[in-house]
Chains A and B, each alone.
Chain A
Amino acid sequence: MPLVNWFKRKFVVIAGLLTLAFLLLPNVVVTVFSFNKPKGRFNYAWQQFSTDAWKDPCGVSGLCGSLSLSLQIAFWATLGATALGTMIAFALVRYRFRARGAVSSLIFLPMAMPEVVMAASLLTLFLNMGAQLGFWTILIAHIMFCLSFVVTAVKARVMSMDPRLEQAAQDLYAGPLQTFLRVTLPIAAPGIAAGALLAFALSFDDFIITNFNAGSTVTFPMFVWGSAQRGTPVQINVIGTAMFLVAVLIVLTSMVINNRRNKQKA
């Protein structure tokens, strides 16, 4: 039975590719339905081909405003979380200090907590302090939950770093600042970049914590959530597809460049 044998040999490959298809199917649907011309308010059933939404991506009131707000929050949250997280990561790897266990668990806990719990408790704090919900409360919340992920990413990189490189720099009469800027930082950069990227993605796509702490401010995920109740404009799919294409393009380009560089080295 050659067919059965073939299936046995290829079982993992077939099952894996089916899972991959399951993962990518919604993206295909999002892309296809960005060319839809729905009847009524909801874009769930295929009607006819149209490029109207692509020609006018900001044609829905509030959509592009929410998008730009999300980008701004993601930018500042990334900056804040990356700065604070990198400092913590360096302290954890490079220094001995008291209460290391407490520090580690305070960093681990936000990652082991359902988002809704953090969201609800943060809202009780803001309500108790009488804080005005909006841009600043969202930013505070985003920096808080991105921080741990940045620490983890940077820590992994700094840990694999050879401390003798810094000692060598100091033996060559580099001051502490010079050593940090010209040796330590360049080596740690990939880890910091990975942490920053992760923070940006997490912040930009966050819904649950933002939903609790945004007040009446509308970020892009909040806009999508609201439209699921009131009616989903095709433009949402256009923006989803465009983001997907841009990101994949960037990743593929960087992969090609990396490949070339490696080949040149070899």
Chain B
Amino acid sequence: MATLTEAPPPLAPTAPQAEPPRRRGRWTPYWLLLPGMLWLLVFFALPMIYQASTSVQTGSLEEGYKVTWHFATYWDALADYWPQFLRSVLYAAAATVLCLVLGYPLAYLIAFRAGRWRNLIMVLVIAPFFTSFLIRTLAWKTILSDGGPVVGALNTLHVLDVTSWLGWTAGDRVLATPLAVVCGLTYNFLPFMILPLYTSLERIDGRLHEAAGDLYARPVTTFRKVTFPLSMPGVVSGTLLTFIPASGDYVNAELLGSTDTRMIGNVIQTQFLRVLDYPTAAALSFILMAAILFMVTFYIRRSGTEDLV
């Protein structure tokens, strides 16, 4: 029991928790890490290598595939499916922006204005998760159904004329259009925006608002100069947590969209599970992964929040 000697001298200027203390048993951390890390290596990292190898194979299902370093698969895949790639990025970006615009007021409300209702609203934000997201996505089929109250109201207000002209909807319909898919994506990933936003807003010292007000800042200025900049970590992680899953999603495009709204996830799913063209599917999935990793790295660098990760 030599632990007493390990206690830092009381006047030592070093921060006590900066670095984990060295313990007895040099091998303990490795034993603790081993099973979990093996799992991730075999079932997460190794599959990536298999996928990369599959993407440069040629052959057929009957004769089997061989690695032939056939990189043309990538060009063919991009040439055939660039509209779906573009669509995925656009839909995911639109949904992310919508999530930020819709989610910010709610996160702000919970953090600063909810008072004793805070816990209840928090529960209500998380509660939808308890019903399978596929069932909830199907509910949007009812909400946006042709001739339903929502579509009727949008029609009366001539909103649909504008959105049709923009190509977001088609005639009197919302279902099976880009608008429906973006709506579904926004709905599905909204909590992933609200929770990180709330976490970073909650950390802001309320006295900063008072100070800004004392210095004659109007509420809008206070928000622009104080609150929003301080909530940037939440904005960054919220947008990532929304954009990444949305860009690879195929559920919303399949259930709420049409053949004209297919995203890259739909293509990968069809190629893998129905067409069984493994090299093309692997190449598409690899391109998606590379694009996401590139964007995420660039975005985190730009927004100066490397410590987030």
Which A residues fall within an 8 A CB radius of B?
11-13, 15-17, 19-20, 22-27, 29-30, 33, 44-45, 84-85, 87-88, 90-91, 93-97, 103, 106-110, 112-118, 120-125, 127-128, 140-141, 143-144, 147-148, 151, 163, 167, 170-171, 173, 201, 204-205, 207-208, 211-212, 220-221, 224-225, 228, 232, 236-237, 240-241, 243-244, 246-248, 251-252, 255
CA distance A88 to B38 in the complex (A): 11
Task: Check A212/B36 contact, CB under 8 A, given A23-B125, A125-B47.
Answer: no
* Cβ-defined contact, A244 with B29, below 8 A: no
CB distance from A192 to the nearest CB of B (A): 14
**8 Å CB contact of B130 from A87, A94, A144, A247:** A247
CA distance A15 to B105 in the complex (A): 6
From B135, B145, B191, B250, residue with most partner A Cβ within 10 Å: B135
**8 Å CB contact of A91 from B32, B47, B125, B141:** B32
Give the chain A neighbours of B138 by CB distance below 8 A: 44, 224, 228, 232, 236
* Cβ-defined contact, B127 with A144, below 8 A: no
The residue in chain B whose Cβ has the minimal distance to the Cβ of A168 is: B3
* Cβ-defined contact, A26 with B123, below 8 A: no
Task: Check A207/B131 contact, CB under 8 A, given A23-B191, A91-B33, A144-B40.
Answer: no
Main secondary structure of the interface of A (DSSP, over half): helix
* Cβ-defined contact, A121 with B33, below 8 A: no
Task: Check A116/B139 contact, CB under 8 A, given A20-B121, A106-B40, A211-B273.
Answer: no
Task: Check A23/B47 contact, CB under 8 A, given A112-B240, A114-B292, A147-B39.
Answer: no
**8 Å CB contact of A23 from B40, B48, B128:** B128
Q: Which of B15-58 contact A (CB under 8 A)?
A: 17, 19-23, 28-30, 32-33, 35-37, 39-41, 43-48, 50-51, 54
Instruction: Add 18 more A-B contacts to A15-B105, A106-B41, A116-B265 (CB < 8 A).
Output: A12-B108, A15-B106, A44-B138, A91-B33, A95-B32, A107-B40, A112-B244, A114-B247, A114-B292, A116-B288, A117-B289, A121-B282, A147-B36, A147-B40, A207-B251, A240-B132, A247-B130, A251-B126
* Cβ-defined contact, A96 with B22, below 8 A: yes
Q: Which of B55-76 contact A (CB under 8 A)?
A: none
* Cβ-defined contact, B288 with A117, below 8 A: yes
Q: Which of B122-158 contact A (CB under 8 A)?
A: 123-143, 145
CA distance A240 to B103 in the complex (A): 25
CA distance A44 to B8 in the complex (A): 67
CA distance A38 to B141 in the complex (A): 15
What 1/0 flags go to B190-208 for Cβ under 8 Å of A? 1100100000000000000
* Cβ-defined contact, A113 with B47, below 8 A: no
Q: Which of B264-309 contact A (CB under 8 A)?
A: 265, 268-269, 272-273, 278, 281-282, 285, 288-289, 292-293, 296, 309
CB distance from B190 to the nearest CB of A (A): 6
Q: Which of B231-261 contact A (CB under 8 A)?
A: 240, 244-245, 247-251, 255
6 pairs of residues in contact across A and B, judged by CB atoms under 8 Å: A26-B136, A87-B32, A113-B292, A143-B39, A163-B21, A248-B130
